[in-house]
C-alpha cells in the first residue's frame, strides 16, 4: 500500500493531467503535412515527451519554492510536498531526474530544440522566484511557455513555424492566462498565496480576456486562409470553443484553469475532438486518397 501511495503521490506531483498542454509541440508537424514521415514523427514525439518531463520538473521546483505558501492554501496544502508525503530532498531529486532526462531527449533530437527547452526552464525559474509577482509579466511568462513548445516542435519540420501560427499561439496563450487570473481573482480568497492577484482589477482582466480572445480568432482565421487547405471551415468550431471557455470563466464557478476546464467540460472536450478530426481530414485526406 505504501508503494502504491508513493506512486500516486509522484504522479500527482508531476501534474500528469497538465501534460495535455505539451500537445502544442506537435502542432507544427501536423500542419506541415509531415505527420506520416516516420523520422520526423518520432522526433516530434520525443520532444513532446521531453516537455512533459521538463514541465513536471518545473512543477516540482515551484512546489518546493512555494512550500510555506502552499501549506496555508485551502487546496494546495494537500499537494504531496506541502503535505509532507514527499520530502523536500526527495522533491529535489525528483526535479533533477526529470529535468536531466528531458534535456537529454531534446539534445538527442537536435540542438535548437535543446536551446528552446533551456529557455523554457530559465523563464520558469525566473517566473517561480520573481516574475510571477509582477502583474501582466506573469501572464506573458505563461504565454512564452506555449510559444516555446511550438517553436521546439518547429525544429523537426521543414517549414518551421509560420508568422500567423506564432501570433495565434501567443494570443491564445494570453487569452487563457488572463482568463485563469480572472477566475483566480474571483474564486480564491487567499490572495496571500498568489500575491500578484492583488495587482489585478476585474475590469482590466475582463478587457484583456476579450481583447486576446478577439485577436486569437482574427489571427487563427488569417492563418487558416494562408494555409489554403480549406482550414477556414474549422473557424466556427474554434470560435465555439473560445466562447464556451469564456462562458465557463465568466460563470464565476471556475478558477479558469484551461486543463481543468477542457477535461471536466464534456462539451468543450467533444468540440476539441471534432475540431481535431476536421483538421486531420482536411489536411490528410488528399494524401490518403493518393495511396
pLDDT at 1: 64
pLDDT at 96: 94
d(CA 49, CA 46): 5
* pLDDT tens figures, 144-166: 999 999 999 999 998 889 899 99
Quote the pTM value. 0.90
pLDDT at 226: 87
Task: List the chain residues with pLDDT less than 70.
Answer: 1-3, 188-193, 229, 287-291
DSSP states of 207-266: HHHHHHHHHHHHHHHHHHHHHTSSGGGGHHHHHHHHHHHHHHHHTTSS---HHHHHHH-H
Q: Tell me how far CA of residue 208 lies from CA of 171, 174, 196, in angstroms.
A: 11, 9, 16
pLDDT at 188: 65
Amino acid at each position: 500500500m505504501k508503494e502504491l501511495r508513493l506512486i500516486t503521490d509522484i504522479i500527482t506531483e508531476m501534474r500528469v493531467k497538465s501534460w495535455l498542454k505539451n500537445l502544442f509541440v506537435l502542432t507544427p508537424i501536423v500542419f506541415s503535412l509531415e505527420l506520416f514521415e516516420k523520422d520526423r514523427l518520432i522526433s516530434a514525439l520525443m520532444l513532446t515527451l521531453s516537455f512533459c518531463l521538463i514541465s513536471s520538473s518545473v512543477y516540482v521546483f515551484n512546489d518546493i519554492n512555494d512550500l510555506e505558501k502552499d501549506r496555508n492554501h485551502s487546496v494546495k496544502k494537500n499537494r504531496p510536498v506541502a503535505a509532507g508525503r514527499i520530502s523536500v530532498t526527495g522533491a529535489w531529486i525528483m526535479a533533477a531526474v526529470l529535468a536531466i532526462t528531458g534535456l537529454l531527449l531534446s539534445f538527442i533530437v537536435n540542438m535548437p530544440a535543446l536551446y528552446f527547452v533551456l529557455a523554457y526552464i530559465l523563464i520558469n525559474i525566473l517566473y517561480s522566484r520573481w516574475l510571477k509577482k509582477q502583474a501582466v509579466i506573469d501572464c506573458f511568462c505563461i504565454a512564452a511557455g506555449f510559444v516555446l513548445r511550438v517553436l521546439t516542435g518547429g525544429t523537426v519540420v521543414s517549414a518551421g513555424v509560420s508568422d500567423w501560427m506564432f501570433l495565434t499561439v501567443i494570443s491564445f496563450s494570453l487569452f487563457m492566462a488572463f482568463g485563469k487570473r480572472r477566475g483566480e481573482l474571483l474564486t480564491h480568497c487567499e490572495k496571500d498565496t498568489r500575491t500578484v492577484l492583488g495587482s489585478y482589477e476585474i475590469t482590466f482582466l475582463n478587457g484583456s480576456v476579450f481583447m486576446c480572445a478577439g485577436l486569437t480568432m482574427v489571427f487563427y482565421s488569417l492563418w487558416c486562409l494562408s494555409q489554403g487547405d480549406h482550414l477556414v471551415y474549422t473557424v466556427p468550431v474554434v470560435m465555439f470553443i473560445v466562447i464556451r471557455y469564456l462562458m465557463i470563466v465568466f460563470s464565476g464557478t471556475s478558477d479558469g484553469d484551461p486543463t481543468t476546464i477542457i477535461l471536466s467540460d464534456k462539451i468543450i472536450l467533444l468540440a476539441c475532438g471534432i475540431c481535431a478530426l476536421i483538421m486531420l481530414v482536411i489536411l490528410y485526406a488528399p494524401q490518403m486518397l493518393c495511396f
